[in-house]
Amino acid sequence: MSDVVTPPTDISTARPLRVHVVGHSAAFLVEPQHGPRTGGGNYGEQVAELLTAVGVPTQTTHAGRWFGLVSDFVGRYERDFRDTFCDVLVLHFGQAEAQTNVLPSTIFRHFGTWHRTSRPGAQLYRDKVAGRVWKRARAWQRWAGSHDDGRTHRLSPQRFTRDMTRLVELIRKDVAPLVLLVDLDPITGRVEYWLPGQNPRREHYQKLLFEIAGQFDDAVRVVEASKTITDVDTQVPDGLHRTAAAHRLTAELLRDEILAWLGKDAA
């Protein structure tokens, strides 16, 4: 399969390089705010600016989900992956999958969702009931998680590997893009407090990303964005999502990987 993936040779303003980003909220959310339209935003937005600035017109699209797991996207492969016909696919998964599941994902999503209905009584429930229950549920998660010892995951290591591998196999067969796997940022003290044991879990899934990439040729690569984090509390202020400036560091790594694949220099 080493000769399957070849870079496009006809990039222009009429036919820009197509970069597609799929992942959980760390792929698209910026803290504490998005920032300016130029020079701000997430790494997907910024990599388009960086590549265009060196003579590679680029268009970025996203398919993301708050607290998204790779298993959520497998059933939406045609819509969220294939039908973009991307030249470069960026996958950003692993951090959520690695978490303890002592508080099941469905419950976690219920309390943390942005999808809030306008039905009568719904706002009253959110204001008077959900907040109080969430505090108790979060305390349970912290206590139970400290006794979990790696027994539960939001998506097990085996399923994570199978789903990621399956998506890469499908997209290489149908579209043949460069596939870049963004690695996992360091765990902040805030996250470790509420999710005890997340540090070793993160290390485990980090290794899985390299094992997944190792099944393929050089057109599937891990981008070690985590190495750009030198002050995690400043660069990842809420514990999970980067600032615009920190997103730019990831964008620069993606730019360099893409330019190397295209056989161009970052002038």
16 or 265, which is more confident:
16
Range name among 100-104, 106-110, 166-170 with the lowest pLDDT average: 106-110
Residues 6+ apart with CB under 8 A from 90: 19, 20, 21, 22, 23, 27, 44, 180, 182, 223, 254
Residues 6+ apart with CB under 8 A from 4: 172, 176, 219
Contact between residue 157 and residue 205 where contact means Cβ atoms under 8 Å apart: yes
The pLDDT, as a whole number, for residue 152 is 93
DSSP single-letter state for residue 99: S
Question: Residue 239 and residue 190: Cα distance in Å, rounded?
Answer: 6
Structure tokens at 205: 């899934």
At 131-183, the pLDDT tens digits run 888 889 888 888 988 888 889 999 999 999 999 999 999 999 999 999 999 99
How deeply is 105 buried, as exposed, middle or buried, from its count of CB atoms within 10 A (0-12, 13-18, 19+)?
Answer: middle
Question: Residue 248 and residue 42: Cα distance in Å, rounded?
Answer: 7
Q: Which domains does the chain have, with CATH numbers?
A: 17-99+153-262 (3.40.50.1110)
Q: Mean of the pLDDT values across residues 86-93? A: 98
User: Tokens 């992956």 belong to which residue?
Assistant: 81
Local structure of 178: helix, strand or coil: strand
Global pTM exceeds 0.75:
yes
Residues 6+ apart with CB under 8 A from 228: 246, 249, 250, 253
Contact between residue 223 and residue 254 where contact means Cβ atoms under 8 Å apart: yes
At 54-84, the pLDDT tens digits run 999 999 999 988 888 999 999 999 999 999 9
Question: Residue 209 and residue 265: Cα distance in Å, rounded?
Answer: 27
Strand ranges inside 82-202, DSSP E: 88-92, 178-182
Q: Mean of the pLDDT values across residues 22-45? A: 92
Longest dimension (CA), the chain: 59
How distant, in Å, are the alpha carbons of 181, 204, 250 from that of 247?
Answer: 15, 23, 5
The answer to whether residue 3 scores a pLDDT higher than 60 is no
